[in-house]
Amino acid sequence: MTVMEQRGAYRPSPPPAWQPRMDPAPLLPDAEPYRVLGTEAAAKADPDLLRRLYAQLVRGRRYNTQATALTKQGRLAVYPSSTGQEACEVAAALALEERDWLFPSYRDTLAVVARGVDPVEALTLLRGDWHSGYDPHTHRVAPLSTPLATQLPHAVGLAHAARLKGDDVVALALVGDGGTSEGDFHEALNFAAVWQAPVVFLVQNNGFAISVPLDKQTAAPSLAHKAVGYGMPGRLVDGNDAAAVHEVLTDAVRHARAGGGPTLVEAVTYRIEAHTNADDATRYRGDAEVEAWRAHDPVHLVERELTARGLLDEAGIEAARQDAEEMAADLRTRMNRDPELDPMALFDHVYAETTAQLREQRALLRAELEAEQDRHDEQEGGAR
Amino acid sequence: MTTVAVKPATMAQALTRAMRDAMAADPAVHVMGEDVGTLGGVFRVTDGLAKEFGEDRCTDTPLAEAGILGTAVGMAMYGLRPVVEMQFDAFAYPAFEQLISHVSRMRNRTRGRMPLPITVRVPYGGGIGGVEHHSDSSEAYYMATPGLHVVTPATVADAYGLLRQAIASDDPVVFLEPKRLYWSKDSWNADRPTEVEPIGRAVVRRPGRSATLITYGPSLPVCLEAAEAAQAEGWDLEVVDLRSLVPFDDETVCAAVRRTGRAVVVHESTGFGGPGGEIAARITERCFHHLEAPVLRVAGFDIPYPPPMLERHHLPGVDRILDAVARLQWEAEG
């Protein structure tokens, strides 16, 4: 059966006969964000999964604080922290199978690392020694995308291509609340639904697009409601509840893999830090709001659940903390080394085969570098 | 290099044949765009492809150029070779962000690990009586973006040969199709297509000794006509067809200019900020001592593309080219 047949025909018929193509009710998100932790559903949550989520959340929180510190020390050009959003980051990575693909935005370094990418290579863009550090094919992670929502059609295209080739691969694309205003968000969701592509869109609604709050961004009942207009299900989930996000994403991934098409998931969360180290959040929001969200902390929510069920004790907490400290120490050590820069590499990957013009420019830069080296050597010689 | 001329083929037919042969040769080649499937494209350039290869290989997409190119990026990431049709030059603009921010940069961003072999076909240029937004010459925008190849055929043989090369290229190629030449015919044998020069090489279409006309795409036939007319004035004009704006063939262009000492660049695109400025600068930098006169440009005016009833005043024609040739300081000679 072709995709077109599967979705049913939709052609205008002469008036007065007209029928909606489908009943929109099943596509609608729940009225409240779905929660697991602190509810009755928590008892059914798999202990192993909770432990894995917890370990990754603790590491993720530590990664955020370490990267922020490295920015203050001048080791990173910029770091958009995902502190407060670790549940979304970690759950996104853990909801995927190895053969699946992740399409991150610039705030999703944690998801990239949780997927297995080397923590230093994940920071190449933000350190500024190249635009992307890791091989996308190794862990099936696309480069961090800086232009908002532009990575979403890539995820749709990749998922579509995989399906055409007969591979049961799913793509998970990450975007923020601000990104949902972009045209590429709309086009990606529309293509995904028309093609019934095996793709899942996770919107991390962290409340702000730099300084602009959500109510200036959209008049929709919720971002999840936008799904209905494309003919795909919208799911609303508590983005600080790692177990809930993991469950909703796992369901959506399974649904996509089984040929059910795309899902839009809105995870309601909060950006605890400023947009980046270069931003001043006190200009657009108050401490009280931030404190209220700190009380709903994604790391503590899982910790509390595990502790209450007797699955985690002080020693376990300390072990997780220790593991995160080791990761941070390793990150610190490696990031405190100056990256190796090769100016000649600027010309190496513009085209598969370089052009005559780039060969000339390459020679020009080489000559400049050699002259620089000669001057340096002369000065050294003079000093001696 | 010889071909048995069976019956004349149009440029549109040669382009169709190029896609058909590429699709037959490589299952990774996918054609996608607006109306390219059932209809065969508004210019019928994809005629028959959906029927022959199925809708999964030649796909009618939703009407959204950024989405078309953006999904093509993802398809290329997974190993396919998308051939994307932008329906008209001016309708390609919504896809600029994908083209500039991702398509042109992905190879460089990933240090060669994620090349994007995408061909973006864009029917371009005027002279077909199109209403607003149907006649733009947008090549300068593409030329200004490193990482893209910018290719434009002017002959039936090149239409086939260059499109096959573009689809086979591991780099993204913006393939500009001069739409007023879609129906131009040539004795070209579809069953034994001639090998053509590779992308990046210009070709001398008419040898001459007096001055060199440098052009591409829709202006080539105009320049050849001007060269014929110039004989009456005693000028023997050489005509160079660039074929590829990026990479640019400095070697062929400069060799030609060194032979004649005089050059006029001809294109439909605006003069200010258009390709002619770059070309004239490159010639001046490389061949200054061979020049008998400044390099001149004959281009479209620096105005928004005119309405169809006025476009003949805008497009470079034979007279404007000959006027430019006349201004090449002939009196200084001898």
Q: Do B107 and A165 touch (CB under 8 A)?
A: no
Does residue B237 sit in the same domain as residue B112? no
ipTM surpasses 0.85: yes
Q: Final residue of a domain: which of B159, B187, B215? A: B187
Give the pairing type, strands B119-124 and B173-178: parallel
CATH number of the CATH domain containing B259: 3.40.50.920
Asked, for residue B194, whether it belongs to a domain, the answer is: no
Asked, for residue B183, whether it belongs to a domain, the answer is: yes
What is the pLDDT, as a whole number, of residue B133?
Answer: 96
Asked, for residue B65, whether it belongs to a domain, the answer is: yes
Side chain identity at A133, as an amino acid letter?
G
A174 - beta bridge partners?
A202
Asked, for residue B283, whether it belongs to a domain, the answer is: yes
A59 noted as active-site residue = no
Does residue B250 sit in the same domain as residue B328? yes
Helices marked H in chain A — which ranges?
3-7, 47-72, 86-94, 109-114, 124-127, 136-139, 151-164, 183-195, 226-230, 242-257, 287-294, 298-308, 314-335, 356-383
What is the pLDDT, as a whole number, of residue B333?
Answer: 52
Q: Which residue has the higher pLDDT, B333 or B82?
A: B82
Closest by CA to A305, choosing from A257, A243, A245, is: A243
Does residue B172 sit in the same domain as residue B254? no
CATH number of the CATH domain containing B49: 3.40.50.970
Which of B98, B108, B199, B201 is the best substitution to test chain A (most A C-beta atoms within 10 A)?
A: B108
Residue the block writes with tokens 């190119």: B69
Does residue B59 sit in the same domain as residue B114? yes
Q: Do A191 and B71 touch (CB under 8 A)?
A: yes
Calculate the alpha carbon distances from A21 to A94, A332, B166 in Å.
35, 56, 41
Phi first, then psi: give them for residue A317, nearest 5 degrees.
Answer: -65, -45
Tokens matching residue B231: 């004989």
- State which residues form the domain around B323: 203-332
Does residue B47 sit in the same domain as residue B116? yes
Q: How far apart are CA B110 and CA B5, in angstroms?
A: 46
Give all strands of the β-sheet with B173-178 in edge-to-edge order.
Answer: B58-60, B29-33, B81-85, B119-124, B173-178, B149-151, B244-246
Q: How far apart are CA B41 and CA B295, in angstroms?
A: 40
Q: Final residue of a domain: which of B154, B187, B220? A: B187
Phi first, then psi: give them for residue A151, nearest 5 degrees.
Answer: -80, -15
Does residue B157 sit in the same domain as residue B219? no
Check CB contact of B318 with chain A, cutoff 8 Å.
no
Calculate the alpha carbon distances from A128 to A79, A111, A115, A131, A335 in Å.
11, 20, 22, 7, 12
What is the pLDDT, as a whole number, of residue A337?
Answer: 96
The burial class, CB within 10 Å (0-12 / 13-18 / 19+), for B56 is middle
What is the mean predicted confidence (pLDDT) over A114-118? Answer: 97
Does residue B81 sit in the same domain as residue B214? no
Q: Do A187 and B70 touch (CB under 8 A)?
A: yes
Asked, for residue B193, whether it belongs to a domain, the answer is: no
Which chain A residues are within 8 Å of B118, Cβ to Cβ? none
Asked, for residue B3, whether it belongs to a domain, the answer is: no
Does residue B154 sit in the same domain as residue B275? no
Check CB contact of B228 with chain A, cutoff 8 Å.
no
Q: How far apart are CA A37 and CA A12, in angstroms?
A: 47
State the distance between the two ends of chain B, measured CA to CA, in whole angstroms: 41
pLDDT category at B1 given cuts 50, 70, 90 is very low
The answer to whether residue B334 scores a pLDDT higher than 50 is no
Packing angle of the helix pair B65-77, A151-164 (nearest 10 deg): 60
What is the mean predicted confidence (pLDDT) over A124-143? Answer: 97
Q: How far apart are CA B48 and CA B37, in angstroms?
A: 8
How near does any CA of chain A get to the CA of B284, in Å? 15
Closest by CA to B296, choosing from B323, B317, B269, B314, is: B323
Does pTM top 0.80 for this prediction?
A: yes
Tell me which of B30, B102, B133, B134 is the catalytic residue.
B134
What is the mean predicted confidence (pLDDT) over A351-367? Answer: 97
Nearest CA in chain B to A162: B78
Does residue B259 sit in the same domain as residue B165? no
Asked, for residue B192, whether it belongs to a domain, the answer is: no
Q: Do A352 and B107 touch (CB under 8 A)?
A: yes
> How many residues are recorded in chain B?
334
Does residue B29 sit in the same domain as residue B89? yes
Does residue B182 sit in the same domain as residue B220? no
Does residue B15 sit in the same domain as residue B60? yes
Tell me which of A255, A284, A300, A362 is the catalytic residue.
A284
Question: CB under 8 Å to A370, separation ≥6 — which residues?
Answer: none
Total of domains in chain B? 2
Closest by CA to B164, choosing from B300, B7, B22, B266, is: B22
Tell me which residue in B67, B80, B112 faces A153 most closely, judged by beta carbons. B67
3-state SS track over B282-311: HHHHHHHHHCCCCCEEEEECCCCCCCHHHH
Residue the block writes with tokens 């072999």: B117
Q: Give the pLDDT confidence of B247-259 residue by residue, as tens digits.
A: 999 999 999 999 9
What is the pLDDT, as a whole number, of residue A76?
Answer: 96
Asked, for residue B31, whether it belongs to a domain, the answer is: yes
How near does any CA of chain B get to the CA of A265, in Å? 20
The answer to whether residue B6 scores a pLDDT higher than 70 is no
| Mean pLDDT value across chain B | 96
Q: How far apart are CA B225 and CA B11, in angstroms?
A: 19
Tell me which residue in B64, B78, B115 faces A162 most closely, judged by beta carbons. B78
B255: number of Cβ within 10 Å: 15
Q: Final residue of a domain: which of B162, B187, B212? A: B187
